[in-house]
Amino acid sequence: MTVAHILGFSRIGARRQLKFALERYWRGEAGDAELVATGRELRRAHWALQRAAGLDYVTVGDFAWYDHVLQLIAHLGCLPARFGFRAGALTLREYFSLARGTDAQPAMEMTKWFDTNYHYLVPEWSADTRADGGVSWLIDEAREAIADGHPVKAALVGPLTLLHLGKARGAAVDLLALLEHLVPAYRRLLARLKDLGVEWVQLDEPVLGLDLEQRWVDAFRPVYTALAPAAPRILLATYFESVAARRELFLSLPISGLHLDLVRAPGQLETLIESIPGQCVLSLGVVDGRNVWRTDLDAALATLRRAQARAGERLWVSASCSLLHVPVDLGLERDLDLEIAGWLAFGAQKLEEISALKRALALGDAAIAPALAASRRARDTRRASTRTHSAFVASRLAALTGEHARRASAYPARSRRQRERLGLPLLPATTIGSFAQTGRIRHARAAFRRGAIGFLDYLEAMRAEIRFAIAKQEALGLDVLVHGEPERGDMVEYFAGQLAGFAVTTEGWVQSYGSRCVRPPVIYGDVHRPEPMTVEWARYAQSLTRHPVKGMLTGPVTMLQWSFARDDGSRETAAMQIALALREEVLDLEKAGIAIIQIDEPAFREGLPLRRRDRARYLEWAARAFRVAASGVGDATQIHSHMCYAEFNDILPAIAALDADVITIETSRSAMELIDAFGAFSYPNEIGPGIYDIHSPRVPDAGTMLSLIERAARVIPVERLWVNPDCGLKTRGWEETEVALANMVAAARRMRELARDTGAMGGGGPVHISQEERVRDAVAARDP
């Protein structure tokens, strides 16, 4: 009989219960008992939801207090040694210290989970890494599910993926050599699950979709041969890419099942279905686990029936990947347009789709007639809707030429004009964009949304916050200011709410990391800008100060990546539509007198295809989309961009191809590792490596920040360096923000003094400081 299951489910709760419980705990307003109770309630509710939908197994192990990779290393006992924690006695407070840092240690590095906007904590590997056992939280959760009467399938990141996603620290270490310690730890954990009566364990190995060195591929057979005797039946889960090239590997593995992502890679089924051993389950992910569109049940059934003809009773039905990446329940939406809502399915609805597909395979289409009718109606009305296509937008795209993606002059000429206009000191100090989203700000926005205050009252409330932010920055001595973004709840959603072709939700929350949740908008149609979006806010902020105030925009690739994109057209087309809309906004900001415009692209690396063969094409159109948005301005207008929490080393030519005058990047968690790559590449424009981690409550002192600036100055010429935090400051309170920024400004000023005293040989040669700059710096230091 066909089995219905999922690879994982959202852990935050439909109403973000986990987020709020975590933040109460971190503020000291709740203890371990309250947090643990919230986690237990969420797990039980999600298991009950899966069973009520008709799934045959509940998935255990997808829950995590902060991140599932961090949770796994806590189970195995391979914690970073620098924290000094005893793995077997790890407390919740110590667990969170790994993710958020302590006074003595920075937090673990954080980066994107493959090509998603979910962030995981990067394991730290060294020659001394051991995995001698850790917490028993997973075992406790399996017991809970069994006690509730549920058939259990446990889910864990597999050993090769875990190892591959980590980073070697300290002396050179062969990561594969660490399998000597990891494999026994996995065996012990899997054996405990088996002893509990857990029948299946899902080991996620999405790394199989990457371009692995052969020795990594060769490691799978001995590793799984060692795991199989101790483990429950193993379902090897792959997703995000085709694994058709691993056909021979799968034939050699002692596994009981294989999961394939047929949303991302439908063509792999024909290659692999004949390669599955006769006793092996074939789990097919035909419901999209990463997007919110309803499944075309007719198309999914056609695929499943072809597979059923060969696999028979060994066929399982699932989503393509974990439902971690989609919101929990469409039924909670209050204000979403009814026609658009009819085209969508969130996590709870996807459970129903999976169950319906299973029933149809067993009982025929008549058994799910209402579901099929709804699926067909959604498919047909979406195709026919006049809201999805615009002749106006199509004509604008057709008129694009190469000139639209090219600045009038090269960077050296622009740089001279910008220095003349801006008059900034050496090592200008700035922030990335946002400041604290205080209770006062949230209250005013919420009151305006529900009609409790009028527009003029809302406008004055936001202007008061802008005045406050500008005054704070001037007092701290920052050189380039921001308005603080009080009017924005989210950097993507804010713009999506003002662009035609986007829909925003009220309860479509997904986890980005820890307690950070976002509501990705839905791109349902062709995109254009009906009217200016940020110009009046920027104009007002600039009127308050003689310092330059940056105009702040979210770039076209990030708008695309951090939304639920259309599945009926190309990503390139959608990115170009957004780029043209942003180009209009950039030009309007310039006309309003804004001299610096920042177009953030933190998701630029995230959109990179997992396979090298597909990357050149993506990088070409992604960089072109940015340039289309940015290139209409004059030479004296300075274009900035910001990127964070991803591995950029392998795409530096594409970052240079953006041709931003200044790029700010996240580097502090990795101790400035990335700056070496920019130096080796001879990155040609200006760069601001982040010198403190805004995602951690730890506030570094000025000396620590100075050492990072000095580190950067050894590889990048000082005249091309900026000083800034890693990211926006919306998640940090003003009290800690003021201390951190004061330390940052002090570090920048001290580095200017060192540059003047020593001639500051940067990576590109000596720094030349004009008499005008010396006078300006002296005045700034005396009268901030």
Write out the catalytic residue numbers.
695
Residues with Cβ within 8 Å of 705's Cβ and at least 6 positions away in sequence, in order, are 691, 692, 743, 744, 747
Torsion angle defined by CA atoms of residues 50, 54, 56 and 58, in that order, rounded to the nearest 10 degrees: 10
What gap in Å lies between CA 665 and CA 726, rounded to an integer? Answer: 6
Residue 210: closest CA among 650, 557, 621 = 650
For the chain, first and last CA: distance in Å? 74
- How far apart are the C-alpha atoms of 673 and 113, rounded to whole Å? 19
Short-list 204, 109, 216, CA closest to 166? 109
Give yes or no for a contact between 636 and 421, defined as CB atoms under 8 angstroms apart: yes
DSSP string, 373-407: HHHHHHHHHHHH-TTS--HHHHHHHHT--GGGGS-
Please identify which residue in the block is written with the tokens 């392998």.
Answer: 650
Neighbours of 339 (CB within 10 A): 14
φ/ψ (deg, to 5) at 496: -60, -35
Q: Are 560 and 492 in contact (CB under 8 A)?
A: no
Rounded to an integer, what distance in angstroms lies between the CA atom of residue 723 and that of residue 721? 7
Structure tokens at 356: 């319906």
Integer Cα distance of 599 and 622 in angstroms: 13
Using CA atoms, how far apart are residues 265 and 284, in angstroms rounded to an integer? 11
Residue type, 385: S
Question: Strand 257-261 vs strand 233-237: parallel, antiparallel, or unpaired?
Answer: parallel
3-class state of residue 54 by DSSP: coil
Among the listed residues 129, 131, 124, the one whose alpha carbon sits nearest the alpha carbon of residue 184: 131
β-sheet bridge partners, residue 434:
484
Report which DSSP code applies to 168.
E
Any idea which residue has 């130096």 for tokens?
679
Three-class secondary structure of residue 708 per DSSP:
helix
Q: Which residues contact 213 (CB under 8 A, 6 or more apart)?
A: none
Phi, psi angle pair for 609, to nearest 5°: -55, 150
Q: Which helix (H) or strand (E) holds 516?
A: strand 516-518
Query: Which residue shows structure tokens 């001698």?
Result: 132
Residue with tokens 């864990």: 156
Radius of gyration of the chain from its Cα atoms, rounded to whole angstroms: 27
Question: Looking at this protein, which amino acid is placed at residue 496?
Answer: A
Q: Extract the tokens encoding 9.
A: 């489910």
